[in-house]
A and B are shown apart, each in its own frame.
Chain A
Amino acid sequence: MEGWGRYPHHESEAIDCRLPEALAGTVAACVGLIGRGNGRSYGDAAIGEYSTLMCRGLSRIRSFDPTNATLTVEGGVMLSDILRSFVPRGYFPPVVPGTKFVTVGGMIASDVHGKNHHRDGGFGDHVSELKLVVAGGEILTCSRTRNPELFFATVGGMGMTGIIAEATFRLRPIESGWIAQKTIVTKNLGEALKALQQTEDATYSVAWIDCLLQGASLGRSLIFAGEHASLDEVGGMPEADRFAAKNEGRFSLPFDLPQWVLNKTSVAAFNELYFRAGARKAAKTSLVHWDKYFFPLDGILEWNRLYGRRGFLQHQCVVPAEDALAVLSGILERFARSGKGSFLAVLKKLGRGSGLLSFPAPGYTLALDLPVTQEVFRLLDEIDEQVVKAGGRLYLAKDARQSRHTFEAGYPRLAAFKELRKITGADRHFNSRLAKRLGI
Chain B
Amino acid sequence: MTGICKTLLLIGGTSDIGRATALIYAEAGWNLLLTGRKLSAVQREADDISARTGANVLVHELDILATSHFEDFVGVVSPLPDTVVCVVGELGEQSRAERQLEHAAMIMRTNFEGPALLLGLLAERFAARGSGSIVGISSVAGDRGRASNYVYGAAKAGLTAYLSGLRSRLSGSGVRVLTVKPGFVRTRMTHGMKLPPLLTAEPREVAQKIFTVAEGGRGGDVVYVRRIWRPLMTAIRLIPEPIFKRLRL
Which residues of chain A have a CB within 8 Å of any CB of chain B?
16, 18-21, 60-64, 71, 81, 85, 89
Q: Is B53 an interface residue (CB 8 A)?
A: yes
Partner of B45, one of A20, A60, A64, A71: A60
Note all chain A residues with C-beta closer than 8 A to B51: 61-64, 71, 85
B188 in contact with A18 (CB, 8 Å): yes
Taken together as a complex, chains A and B put the C-alpha atoms of A71 and B47 apart, in Å, by 12
Taken together as a complex, chains A and B put the C-alpha atoms of A368 and B6 apart, in Å, by 52
A171 to chain B minimum Cβ distance, whole angstroms, is: 12
B41 in contact with A85 (CB, 8 Å): no
Partner of A60, one of B47, B54, B188, B191: B47
A61 in contact with B188 (CB, 8 Å): no
B72 to chain A minimum Cβ distance, whole angstroms, is: 28
15 contacts between A and B (CB under 8 A): A16-B191, A21-B40, A60-B44, A60-B45, A60-B47, A60-B48, A61-B47, A61-B48, A61-B51, A62-B47, A63-B51, A81-B52, A85-B51, A85-B53, A89-B54
Note all chain B residues with C-beta closer than 8 A to A20: 44
Q: Mark B44-78, 1 if CB is under 8 A from A, else 0.
A: 11011001111000000000000000000000000
Taken together as a complex, chains A and B put the C-alpha atoms of A60 and B41 apart, in Å, by 11
Taken together as a complex, chains A and B put the C-alpha atoms of A60 and B42 apart, in Å, by 12
Taken together as a complex, chains A and B put the C-alpha atoms of A81 and B44 apart, in Å, by 16
Partner of A63, one of B40, B45, B47, B53: B47
Which residues of chain B have a CB within 8 Å of any CB of chain A?
40-41, 44-45, 47-48, 51-54, 188, 191
Ranked nearest first, the 8 interchain pairs of A and B with the lowest CB-CB distance are A60-B48, A64-B51, A61-B51, A85-B52, A61-B48, A60-B44, A63-B51, A61-B52
Q: A62-B44, A64-B51 are in contact. List 8 more A-B contacts (CB 8 A).
A: A18-B188, A60-B48, A61-B47, A63-B51, A64-B52, A71-B51, A81-B52, A89-B54
B92 to chain A minimum Cβ distance, whole angstroms, is: 19
Partner of B48, one of A18, A19, A62, A89: A62
Taken together as a complex, chains A and B put the C-alpha atoms of A63 and B52 apart, in Å, by 9
Note all chain B residues with C-beta closer than 8 A to A85: 51-53
Note all chain B residues with C-beta closer than 8 A to A16: 191
A69 to chain B minimum Cβ distance, whole angstroms, is: 12
Which residue from chain B places its CB closest to the CB of A89 in the assembled complex? B54
Taken together as a complex, chains A and B put the C-alpha atoms of A376 and B51 apart, in Å, by 47
Which residue from chain B places its CB closest to the CB of A65 in the assembled complex? B51
B246 to chain A minimum Cβ distance, whole angstroms, is: 38
Note all chain A residues with C-beta closer than 8 A to B53: 85
By DSSP majority rule, is chain A's interface helix, strand, loop, or mixed?
mixed
Given known pairs A61-B52, A64-B51, A71-B51, the reply for A19 and B45 (CB within 8 Å) is no
Taken together as a complex, chains A and B put the C-alpha atoms of A345 and B191 apart, in Å, by 39
B48 to chain A minimum Cβ distance, whole angstroms, is: 4
Note all chain B residues with C-beta closer than 8 A to A81: 52
Note all chain A residues with C-beta closer than 8 A to B191: 16
B224 to chain A minimum Cβ distance, whole angstroms, is: 25
Note all chain A residues with C-beta closer than 8 A to B48: 60-62
Taken together as a complex, chains A and B put the C-alpha atoms of A386 and B40 apart, in Å, by 55
A194 to chain B minimum Cβ distance, whole angstroms, is: 43
Which residue from chain B places its CB closest to the CB of A88 in the assembled complex? B1
Which residue from chain B places its CB closest to the CB of A81 in the assembled complex? B52
Taken together as a complex, chains A and B put the C-alpha atoms of A360 and B191 apart, in Å, by 39
Which residue from chain B places its CB closest to the CB of A73 in the assembled complex? B51
Taken together as a complex, chains A and B put the C-alpha atoms of A61 and B48 apart, in Å, by 4
Which residue from chain A places its CB closest to the CB of B14 in the assembled complex? A19
Taken together as a complex, chains A and B put the C-alpha atoms of A256 and B40 apart, in Å, by 44
A90 to chain B minimum Cβ distance, whole angstroms, is: 12
Taken together as a complex, chains A and B put the C-alpha atoms of A71 and B51 apart, in Å, by 8
B226 to chain A minimum Cβ distance, whole angstroms, is: 19
Note all chain A residues with C-beta closer than 8 A to B52: 61, 64, 81, 85
Taken together as a complex, chains A and B put the C-alpha atoms of A81 and B49 apart, in Å, by 12
Note all chain B residues with C-beta closer than 8 A to A64: 51-52
Taken together as a complex, chains A and B put the C-alpha atoms of A60 and B191 apart, in Å, by 19
| Most A-side CB within 10 Å, residue of B47, B48, B54 | B48
B47 in contact with A19 (CB, 8 Å): no
Taken together as a complex, chains A and B put the C-alpha atoms of A21 and B14 apart, in Å, by 15
